[in-house]
């Protein structure tokens, strides 16, 4: 994907949608079922429903340039030499049932940094805030505690 999107950018097609992406369209779905993003069917479809109801919230598909630059920056950010040099406070929140992010790699990256705190929610999926209210509250509490801890630092 990196080579393909990089070539697209080099040949002047960076602003074109990447393969399989395009303008936002409503995708009918069974909202009584969980998704790969959240196991809670009551909350799994919230984002999709917000987009369906309010066109101003919609985001179109990603471009070749976006994919290329995201892949390049992600690779750079994961380099051991980059991670070890990062001394800024970082909060990493990982989900045990995530099928999008490699949780073990995210935790390893956090461990390689000088000042990274990892909070892990084993039962959560990728859309950790869409599991249930208690889960979202737990994530909010961790974020608030993290910022309280680093408050006043440069």
Per-residue pLDDT tens for 4-42?
999 999 999 999 999 888 888 877 888 888 888 888 888
* Half-sphere exposure at residue 6, Cβ-oriented, CA atoms within 13 angstroms: 7
What is the C-alpha separation between 86 and 93, in angstroms, rounded? Answer: 17
What is the C-alpha separation between 35 and 38, in angstroms, rounded? Answer: 5
Residues making up the chain, counted from first to last: 154
Q: For 39-93, write each residue's pLDDT tens digit.
A: 888 887 887 788 888 888 888 889 999 999 999 999 999 899 999 999 999 999 9
Whether the CB-CB separation of 60 and 149 falls below 8 Å is answered with: no
């Amino acid at each position: 994907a990196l080579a393909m999107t990089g070539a697209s950018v080099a040949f002047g097609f960076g602003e074109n949608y990447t393969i399989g992406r395009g303008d936002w369209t409503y995708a009918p779905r069974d909202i009584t079922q969980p998704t790969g993003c959240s196991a809670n069917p009551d909350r799994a479809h919230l984002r999709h429903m917000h987009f369906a109801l309010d066109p101003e919230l919609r985001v179109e598909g990603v471009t070749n340039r976006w994919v290329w630059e995201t892949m390049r920056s992600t690779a750079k950010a994961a380099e051991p030499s980059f991670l070890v040099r990062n001394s800024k406070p970082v909060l990493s929140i990982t989900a045990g049932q995530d099928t999008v992010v490699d949780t073990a790699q995210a935790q390893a990256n956090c461990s390689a940094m000088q000042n990274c705190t990892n909070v892990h929610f084993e039962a959560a999926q990728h859309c950790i805030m869409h599991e249930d209210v208690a889960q979202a509250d737990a994530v909010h509490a961790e974020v608030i505690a993290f910022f309280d801890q680093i408050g006043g630092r440069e």
